[in-house]
C-alpha cells in the first residue's frame, strides 16, 4: 500500500524486453534505498512494482505484458522522469490517501492554466472509470494523491500547489500527456457492495438497511 505522497523523482535507466516480459531499471534519484530489500514494493508513476534487482542508486523490476497494456509504462524512454514512492509503513503517517498501486486506467491532460501560484489541470479519464471520480474526492495521478475539484462527464480538474509541482513530475506535464490513474478504493468497494454478488445475496439497499436495524 502507498499514500500518494511522492518520495522522490527518479528516471528511467532502461526498459528492455526479457523473453516474453519486460525489465524496468530505475535511477532512484534522491530516494533512499538503504532500507529496501529484494521483494519490496516501490510505486513507479503509481504502478506498484516488485524490486528484483537492487544497487545503491538503482533498482530493477519485472513488468508484465498486462501492466504494459493497462498503464502508461509502455511510453517510457531512457531518461523519462518518474514519481517514486516506497511502500508505506504501518507506523507511518497517511499523508495522502490509501493507494494500492493498481492502475485503473490511463488518462490524458487536455488543459493546463495558471490559478494563482497553483496550476489548474483538466484531465480526461477513460469512460469505464469516470463514474468513480467525485468532486472533493481523492484521485491518484501518476502516483500523486490529489483532490478533485470538479467533474464533468469524463473530465475532471485538479489544482496543483507549487510544492507538489516541485516535488513531483506533474509540474512538467504537457497537453496530451498520458497519465496513470487510480480511483479511490472506497468507490470501487462501495459499488460492489451495492450490486451484491449477483447470486441470491442482496446488495446494499433500503430493504437491506431496514432488515438490519437501520430504519
| pLDDT of residue 80 exceeding 90 | yes
> Cα–Cα distance between 142 and 160 in angstroms, integer?
13
Percent of the chain surpassing pLDDT 70: 91
For residue range 47-72, list pLDDT tens digits in order. 999 999 999 999 999 999 999 999 99
Domain covering 8-86 assigned CATH 3.30.420.40 in the classification: no
| pLDDT of residue 199 exceeding 60 | no
The highest-level CATH class for domain 105-191 is mainly beta
Q: Do 8-86 and 105-191 show the same overall fold?
A: yes
| pLDDT of residue 170 exceeding 60 | yes
Poorest-pLDDT segment among 24-38, 106-120, 183-197, 200-214: 200-214
pLDDT band at 19 (very low <50, low <70, confident <90, very high): confident
pLDDT of residue 202: 58
Q: Where exactly are the structural domains of the chain?
A: 8-86, 105-191
pLDDT of residue 201: 57
| pLDDT of residue 198 exceeding 70 | no
> Cα–Cα distance between 97 and 183 in angstroms, integer?
11
**Between residues 214 and 200, which one has the greater pLDDT?**
214
Could you write out the DSSP letters of every residue in 66-124?
A: HHHHHSSGGG--TT-EEEEEEPPPTTS---S--B-S---EEEEEEEEEEETTEEEEEEE
Q: Cβ neighbours of residue 200 under 8 Å, at least 6 residues apart?
A: none
pLDDT band at 16 (very low <50, low <70, confident <90, very high): very high
> Cα–Cα distance between 79 and 166 in angstroms, integer?
18
Amino acid at each position: 500500500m502507498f499514500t500518494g505522497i511522492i518520495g522522490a523523482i527518479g528516471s528511467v535507466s532502461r526498459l528492455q524486453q526479457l523473453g516474453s516480459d519486460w525489465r524496468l531499471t530505475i535511477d532512484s534519484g534522491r530516494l533512499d534505498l538503504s532500507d529496501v530489500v529484494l521483494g519490496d514494493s516501490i510505486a513507479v508513476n503509481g504502478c506498484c512494482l516488485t524490486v528484483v534487482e537492487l544497487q545503491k542508486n538503482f533498482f530493477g523490476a519485472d513488468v508484465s505484458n498486462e501492466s504494459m497494456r493497462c498503464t502508461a509504462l509502455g511510453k517510457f524512454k531512457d531518461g523519462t522522469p518518474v514519481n517514486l514512492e516506497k511502500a508505506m509503513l504501518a507506523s507511518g503517517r497517511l499523508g495522502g490517501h490509501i493507494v494500492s498501486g493498481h492502475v485503473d486506467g490511463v488518462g490524458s491532460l487536455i488543459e493546463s492554466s495558471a490559478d494563482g501560484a497553483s496550476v489548474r489541470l483538466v484531465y480526461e479519464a477513460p469512460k469505464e472509470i469516470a463514474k468513480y471520480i467525485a468532486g472533493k474526492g481523492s484521485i491518484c495521478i501518476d502516483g500523486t494523491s490529489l483532490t478533485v475539484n470538479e467533474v464533468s462527464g469524463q473530465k475532471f480538474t485538479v489544482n496543483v500547489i507549487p510544492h507538489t509541482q516541485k516535488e513531483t513530475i506533474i509540474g512538467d506535464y504537457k497537453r496530451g500527456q498520458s497519465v496513470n490513474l487510480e480511483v479511490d478504493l472506497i468507490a470501487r468497494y462501495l459499488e460492489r457492495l451495492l450490486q451484491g454478488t449477483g447470486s441470491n445475496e442482496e446488495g446494499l439497499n433500503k430493504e437491506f438497511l431496514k432488515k438490519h436495524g437501520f430504519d
